[in-house]
Chain A
Amino acid sequence: MIWIIAWKNIWRNKVRSLVVVMAIAFGLFGGVFSSAVLKGTGDQRVREAVSRETSHIQIHNPAYIEDNDVRYVIDGNRETLITVLDTIKVIEAWSPRVKFMAMAGSANAGTGVVVIGIDPDKEQRVTEIHSLICDSCGSWFKKGRGMSVVIGQALAKKLKVHLNSKIVLTFQDMQGNLTGGAFRICGIYRTNNSVFDEMNVLVNRTDIIPLLTADPGACHEIAIRLTEPDMADPVQLTLKNLFPSMLVQDWKEIDPLLGMLNDFMDLWLYLFMGIILLALGFGIINTMLMAILERTRELGMLAAIGMNKQRIFILIMLESVFLSLTGGVIGIIMGVLLTWYTNHTGINLGSLTEGFEKIGYNPILYPSLDLIFFINLTIMVVAAGILASIYPARRALKLRPAEAIRNE
Chain B
Amino acid sequence: MSIITIEELKKSYRDSEVAVQALNGINLTFDQGEFAAVVGPSGSGKTTLLNMVGGLDKPDSGSILIGEVDVTKLSSRKLIDFRLKNIGFVFQSYNLIPVLTAFENVEFIMNLQGVKREERKKRSVELLEAVGLGDRIHSRPSKLSGGQQQRVAVARSLASRPRFILADEPTANLDSVSTRNLLEIMEKLNHEEKITFIFSTHDQRVVNKAHRIIVLEDGKVVKDEVKITSEIR
A residues sitting closer than 8 Å to B (CB atoms) are: 1, 4-5, 8-9, 11-12, 297-298, 301-309, 311, 400-402, 405-406
Contacts and interface: CB of A to CB of B under 8 A. Distances in A.
A298 B94 CA distance: 10
Contacts of A1: 104, 107-108, 111
Interface in B98-119: 98-100, 104, 107-109, 111-113
Q: Interface centre among A1, A5, A309, by most B CB within 10 Å?
A: A1
Interface in B185-200: none
Report whether over half of chain B's contact residues are helix, strand or loop; otherwise say mixed: helix
Contacts of A4: 104
B84 interface: yes
A309 B84 CA distance: 13
Nearest to B100: A5
A305 B77 contact: no
A11 B140 CA distance: 15
A305 B47 CA distance: 16
A302 B91 CA distance: 12
B81 A308 contact: yes
Interface string B24-51: 0000000000000000000000010001
B80 interface: yes
Nearest 3 A-B pairs (CB), nearest first? A306-B84, A8-B99, A301-B95
B7 interface: no
B202 to A, nearest CB: 15
B125 interface: no
A406 B98 CA distance: 17
A216 to B, nearest CB: 85
A70 B198 CA distance: 103
Contact of B89 (A8, A298, A305, A311): A305
17 contacts: A1-B104, A1-B108, A1-B111, A4-B104, A12-B98, A297-B93, A297-B95, A298-B97, A301-B95, A303-B80, A304-B54, A305-B156, A306-B85, A308-B77, A405-B56, A405-B95, A406-B47
A5 B100 CA distance: 7
Interface of B: 47, 51, 54, 56-57, 77, 80-81, 83-85, 89, 91, 93, 95, 97-100, 104, 107-109, 111-113, 156, 160
B97 A306 contact: no
B83 A304 contact: yes
A305 B83 contact: yes
Given A1-B107, A306-B80, 19 more contacts: A5-B99, A5-B108, A8-B99, A9-B99, A12-B99, A297-B93, A301-B95, A304-B54, A305-B84, A305-B89, A305-B112, A306-B84, A306-B109, A306-B113, A308-B77, A308-B81, A309-B77, A401-B56, A402-B56
B100 A405 contact: no
Contact of B109 (A5, A305, A402, A405): A305
Report whether over half of chain A's contact residues are helix, strand or loop; otherwise say mixed: helix
A407 to B, nearest CB: 10
B56 A304 contact: yes
A127 to B, nearest CB: 64
B112 A311 contact: yes
Given A5-B99, A306-B160, A402-B51, A301 B57 contact: no
Contacts of B113: 306
A8 B101 CA distance: 11
Given A297-B93, A301-B91, A307 B112 contact: yes
A299 to B, nearest CB: 10
Contacts of A311: 112
Contact of A307 (B80, B104, B156): B80
A309 B111 contact: no
A316 to B, nearest CB: 14
Contacts of B99: 5, 8-9, 11-12
A388 B61 CA distance: 40
Contacts of B89: 301, 304-305
A17 to B, nearest CB: 13
Nearest to B93: A297
Contacts of A406: 47
B95 A306 contact: no
A115 to B, nearest CB: 77
A263 B97 CA distance: 51
Contacts of A11: 99
Nearest to A300: B95
